[in-house]
Amino acid sequence: MTNRYDPQIIEAKWQARWDADGLYEVTEDPTRPKWYALTMFPYTSGDLHIGHWYAMAPSDVYARYKRMQGYNVMHPMGFDAFGLPAENAAIKRHIHPLNWTMQNIDTMRRQLKTMGSCYDWGREVITCVPEYYKWTQWFFLRLYKGGLVYRAKAPVNWCPSCQTVLANEQVVEGGKCERCSTAVTREDREQWFLRITRYADELMYHSTLQWPERIKIMQKNWVGRSEGVDISFGLDYPGVEEKEICIFTTRPDTILGVTFMVLAPEHPLVRKLTTPERRTKVEEYITASRRQTDIERLSTEKEKTGVFTGAYATNRLNGERVPIWIADYVLLSYGTGAVMAVPAHDTRDFEFAKNFGIPIRTVIAPPGWSGAELAEAYVDPGTMANSGQFNGMPSEKAMGAITNFIEQKGYGKRTITYHLRDWLISRQRYWGAPIPMVYCDRCGIVPVPEENLPVLLPPDADFKPTGESPLKYCKSFVETSCPQCKAPAQRETDTMDTFMCSSWYFLRYASPHYDRSAFDPEKVKYWLPVDQYTGGAEHAVMHLFYARFFIKAIQDLGLVDFDEPFVRLFNQGTIIAQKHKMSKSRGNVVNPDDYVSDLGADTVRAYLMFVGPWEQGGEWDDSGISGMSRWLHRVWNLVLQGEETPLPTEAVDPGAVKELRHRTHKTIKRVTEDLERFRYNTMLAYLMEFTNYLAKVLADKSVDVSSWQEAINALLLLLAPTAPHLTEELWGRAGHPYSIHHQPFPIWDMDLAAEEQFILVIQVNGKLRDKINAPVSITETEARELAFSQPRIKALLEGKQVTNVVYVPQKLMNLVVR
Ligand SMILES: [Zn+2]
Ligand SMILES: [Zn+2]
């Protein structure tokens, strides 16, 4: 047995032993509290990078800590394996997406194992295998039967380069494709939708969840609930069947300030209402706006353009005729595709009116308004003006009064609208779960019976993107018989959005091999919901939102008895290198494998936790990780030296023993409190401080053997979640039974951990002015801060200048002032 710390040898040794013993396998145990610790499963786009480690290693530390606290901890791992990136990568490399994905999974699994995590590998799930996607299809059918799935033609985002429809969430700033940055255009297609909007209100509330505030706000804004009024404006054109235009407004108080209306260029009324002399201009404008994406059209930076149709609508509240314009900033898919315009009280309308010389009428007077035309839109509350019977009323009050008037007259009614749209799940790509639907000439749309699942993805389809699903050209897949009438029929050829696969994977971990349903209800009842979920904040309005919808929907279908999937959520920050985000083009990518084989996984784990507060991230620095490696070597040497050093059974110096035990218990307290709050960086700083102290005590030989052992055992146990291999090895060498990872986490003694206090005397110019309690460990800087913060001292120092401070540790502080 060598006495040198050799992480390569001990890490491989313990990983093999833990694996052989099934140390981290868990089963349901009703006698212990359960803890479901989950990190977002990685996408299988390549090998594991440092970002994965930064998400996974600290969450493993927390899961291990919970195990030692006596929880029955399930900590599973799996792979999110369907979807565009894998398919695109496979096409680029001329290999099948299945082979590409499975190769990546092998690499990633091997890398994950080197991390020394307490994953229960027997629970692994992979979303692209039939044993898994069979149940994704099953959920689709259940949602369909529950009335939460429908098919509709809708304008969709189309990426001409990826040749696929994209969800709104996949269109990034500037109307670009998230994957390839190509400008996204629009097309109409028959698609499958999930009725997520039915849960809009529920999804806005997070009251039972311990989640970061910013994620809750992002989700709330994504739902975008607004209260307002639906109101109709009159139309009177011979030959035009429609006699009104309906709009929605959140500002009924401004309705008497309407000086024009705007329709979306594609609004069906535009062609009917446009006068012959305006036709050419209007047609040109429609063509131009079709070339733009929604995002471009909604951009606030863009100059406001528009064209007058030549037609007018009537504002029923004052009988006024207002001109009808078209403008691309109004979208047909949001609201009614028509808006009223109040330039005096809306910034966008103001700009538009100024551009086109449309009148601007103030109906809400700012405080002290002279009656002159406004220099800019006034959007705040004020006093009603130019509004007939409502004049003089505070505008907040007029809001209700005008709405009541509108409802009484039958011009409209109160209503609520949402930004949230239903979830489009159809993808015209190969690498996804086939949608289990059949089209029959006689019966129409027929769901595949559950007992016929899975609808297998044919391995031999030509999967190159064409704009239509590659499955369309795979005869053996398309041609089937109708489940109802047995006549020849055709399969749906679109595949599902991968976010469907990841909306329920956390249920599968509870019973990964169960084959009678997507999950064993008893096991889900025991393990779910997830107690601690960890992952990137970039999933705020996608994965985290969809998964919440999914659980709420299947709860309503009676499949589960809880309504939120993730009780606690933590978003880790980002690791940067050389002051920048890591990227291949910048050449600053840190490959975790190199460091693991060089310095060991324990060092990489500990270093990642030390670089900064976990939620903020930090900068990777080679000298920093060397420092961490040196510290673990010091821990190793300290523990072994302690065993070789003969310490007395009775203490030589009772004061030293008292201090050691105090430090031991104070460290247990600090480490525990920091672990609870994911303050790993300060936790490690305390442990480092503690080891420095222990080294000094050992050199002095001033303490007895039992308080030394208490200290060393505490050190190893406190460090066990962070450095699982090193501590297992040292624990065994100290003669303790295997495994340290079955030991209870240490608990501090309140009395021993308590800080000893002394009375700090504060003098000002030599005169006694105050006496305060202070901990004996206080530094001079802390003592100064404490003294200066005392109200009596503060008052004495007011307007004076402190020219000198004399500090006698654990006694007094004299402030010399002028
Ligand atoms: Zn693209
Ligand atoms: Zn049929």
pLDDT at 541 over 80: yes
Q: Are strands 320-326 and 171-172 parallel, antiparallel or unpaired?
A: unpaired
Distance 481 CA to ligand 2 centre (A): 8
Residue 473 CA to residue 30 CA, distance in Å, equals 52
Answer whether the bond into residue 739 is a cis peptide, omega within 30°: yes
pLDDT at 1 over 60: no
Q: pLDDT digit string (tens) for 584-623?
A: 778 888 899 999 999 999 999 999 999 999 999 999 999 9
Report how far apart, in Å, the C-alpha atoms of 392 and of each of 147, 345, 396 are.
50, 17, 12
Ligand nearest to C-alpha 184: 1
**Residue where the block lists tokens 């996608």:** 542
**Residue where the block lists tokens 């970002």:** 51
Residue 756 CA to residue 777 CA, distance in Å, equals 8
Q: Provide the CB-side half-sphere exposure for 194 (13 A, CA).
A: 25
Q: Could you tell me the two tokens for 774?
A: 């202070």
Give the three-state DSSP class for 244: strand
Report how far apart, in Å, the C-alpha atoms of 680 and of each of 61, 141, 684 are.
9, 44, 6
Q: How many CB atoms lie within 10 A of CB 469?
A: 26
Distance 449 CA to ligand 2 centre (A): 13
Distance 181 CA to ligand 1 centre (A): 6
Q: Which residues pair with 530 in a beta bridge?
A: 566
**Residue where the block lists tokens 């959007």:** 379
Report how far apart, in Å, the C-alpha atoms of 298 and of each of 286, 327, 528, 748 are.
16, 11, 41, 58
Select from 776, 724, 574, 599 the least CA-distant residue to 51: 574
Distance 755 CA to ligand 1 centre (A): 61
Q: Is the dihedral of CA 291, 295, 298, 304 positive or negative?
A: negative
Q: pLDDT digit string (tens) for 21-34?
A: 999 999 999 999 99
pLDDT at 73 over 80: yes
Q: Could you tell me the two tokens for 108?
A: 């990633």
Distance 498 CA to ligand 2 centre (A): 29
Q: Which residues pair with 233 in a beta bridge?
A: 245
| pLDDT confidence bin for 86, thresholds 50/70/90 | confident
What radius of gyration do the chain's Cα atoms show? 34
Answer whether the bond into residue 791 is a cis peptide, omega within 30°: no
Ligand nearest to C-alpha 488: 2
Residue 255 CA to residue 340 CA, distance in Å, equals 8
Residue 572 CA to residue 61 CA, distance in Å, equals 14
Distance 428 CA to ligand 2 centre (A): 24
pLDDT at 168 over 70: no
Ligand nearest to C-alpha 482: 2
- State the DSSP code for 792: H
Phi, psi torsion values for 672, nearest 5 degrees: -60, -45
Phi, psi torsion values for 105, nearest 5 degrees: -60, -40
Which amino acid, 432?
A: G
Distance 465 CA to ligand 1 centre (A): 11
Distance 703 CA to ligand 2 centre (A): 86
pLDDT at 808 over 60: yes
Among the listed ranges 200-204, 398-402, 535-539, 557-561, which one has the minimum average pLDDT value? 535-539
| Most distant CA atoms of the chain, gap in Å | 109
Residue 604 CA to residue 112 CA, distance in Å, equals 13
Q: Provide the CB-side half-sphere exposure for 732 (13 A, CA).
A: 13
Q: Could you tell me the two tokens for 687?
A: 């442990």
Burial (CB < 10 A; 0-12, 13-18, 19+), residue 350, is buried
Distance 143 CA to ligand 2 centre (A): 22
Q: Is the dihedral of CA 103, 108, 111, 112 positive or negative?
A: negative
Distance 468 CA to ligand 1 centre (A): 15
Distance 480 CA to ligand 2 centre (A): 11
Distance 458 CA to ligand 2 centre (A): 23
Distance 537 CA to ligand 1 centre (A): 23
**Residue where the block lists tokens 């190969």:** 430
Q: Could you tell me the two tokens for 250?
A: 């959140």
Distance 498 CA to ligand 1 centre (A): 16
H, E, C per residue of 59-115: HHHHHHHHHHCCCEEECCCCEECCCHHHHHHHHHCCCCHHHHHHHHHHHHHHHHHHC
Q: How many CB atoms lie within 10 A of CB 183?
A: 17
Among the listed ranges 182-186, 490-494, 630-634, which one has the minimum average pLDDT value? 182-186
Q: Which helix (H) or strand (E) holds 618?
A: strand 617-620
Residue 804 CA to residue 321 CA, distance in Å, equals 80
Which pLDDT value is given to residue 467? 61
762 within 8 A of 816, measured Cβ to Cβ: no
Residue 771 CA to residue 762 CA, distance in Å, equals 6
Output the CA angle 774-776-781, nearest 5 degrees: 70
| pLDDT confidence bin for 288, thresholds 50/70/90 | confident
Distance 164 CA to ligand 1 centre (A): 8
Q: Which residues pair with 232 in a beta bridge?
A: 246
Predicted TM-score of the model (pTM): 0.82
Q: Could you tell me the two tokens for 741?
A: 């990872």
Distance 434 CA to ligand 2 centre (A): 20
Report how far apart, in Å, the C-alpha atoms of 260 and of each of 250, 280, 699 are.
17, 21, 87
Q: pLDDT digit string (tens) for 344-375?
A: 999 999 999 999 999 999 999 999 998 888 99
Ligand nearest to C-alpha 162: 1
Average pLDDT, the chain: 93
Q: What is the mean pLDDT of residues 517-524?
A: 98
